[in-house]
Amino acid sequence: MSYNIAVIITGDIRDKDTFDMVKSQFDRFDIFCGSYVKHSDLLEDFGKSRYLCLIDPNNDIYPPNNIPKENMQQNMLQWLHLNNLISNYKSQLVKYDIVLKYRFDTIIKGRNDYFSLLSTIQNIKENHLYNQSDLVFFAEPNTFIKLFENFYHQFISATFLHKNNYDGSFEKSWKSEPSFLKNMQHHNVVNANLPFVVQIIRGSYKKVTADSNKKLYKNNTMYGKFS
């Protein structure tokens, strides 16, 4: 059996060589991409067909419900992109056999033909999320939508520590991976392993430890990755 797969890929393109490698592996898939308008030229021929939600960070970023803008963190952006894609393309996504969430800076270890690997995955069960934490994950579409349709506006707020002394430090910050796991528990979805291993390849991009847990705004001015 060969599965029809929708590939959701979100985030910033930080290294061109890594992007080109990822792009070459997904040229036979339908791509649903949430990223930034500055990358529109790179994405114009990405995938067999493409559905885009590209935002201007100066105008199109909105915080999760009940979280003040000044407390928004950089690691919330991947979920904003996913929220945009599900909001705009839910009716298309539910037509696929599998919905796979991927990243621009990630590769599947030891594999040079993603189409052959992914299209022949077998025994996908309902109410299971196959994942390597929040790096890469997939499910059949009804399970995927159930888990992530309201994640940004409801579950982030529910797991955010609303403290008066919140200062954007790592110790007091909202953590993506624990919330990702709690979301599965909340929906009684089985936490299953991916049938392959992924790793992050950042190329020339130099990541600062825990930078994604820092605040996105300071004195109502965007800083961090966009400054």
Query: The domain spanning residue 140 has which CATH number?
Result: 3.90.550
pLDDT at residue number 210: 58
- Each residue's pLDDT, cut to its tens digit, for the chain (227 residues) gives 578 999 999 999 999 999 999 999 999 999 999 999 999 999 999 999 999 999 999 999 999 999 988 889 999 999 999 999 999 999 999 999 999 999 999 999 999 899 999 988 888 999 999 999 999 999 999 999 999 999 999 999 889 877 766 666 777 789 999 999 999 999 999 999 999 999 998 766 666 655 778 888 877 778 766 65
Q: What is the pTM of this model?
A: 0.93
Say if CB 105 and CB 201 are below 8 A apart: yes
CA distance 31 to 53: 11
CA distance 212 to 73: 7
pLDDT at residue number 146: 98
pLDDT at residue number 171: 78
Return the closest-CA partner of residue 73 out of 149, 7, 169. Answer: 169
Q: Say how many domains are in the chain.
A: 1
Alpha helices for the chain (secondary structure H) = 16-25, 40-43, 77-93, 114-118, 141-148, 156-159, 176-186
Residue 28, token pair as written in the block: 């036979």
Quote the domain boundaries for residue 154. 5-226
Return the closest-CA partner of residue 126 out of 85, 151, 87, 97. Answer: 97
pLDDT at residue number 27: 96
pLDDT at residue number 66: 92
pLDDT at residue number 10: 97
Phi (first) and psi of residue 142, to 5 degrees: -65, -40
Say if CB 1 and CB 122 are below 8 A apart: yes
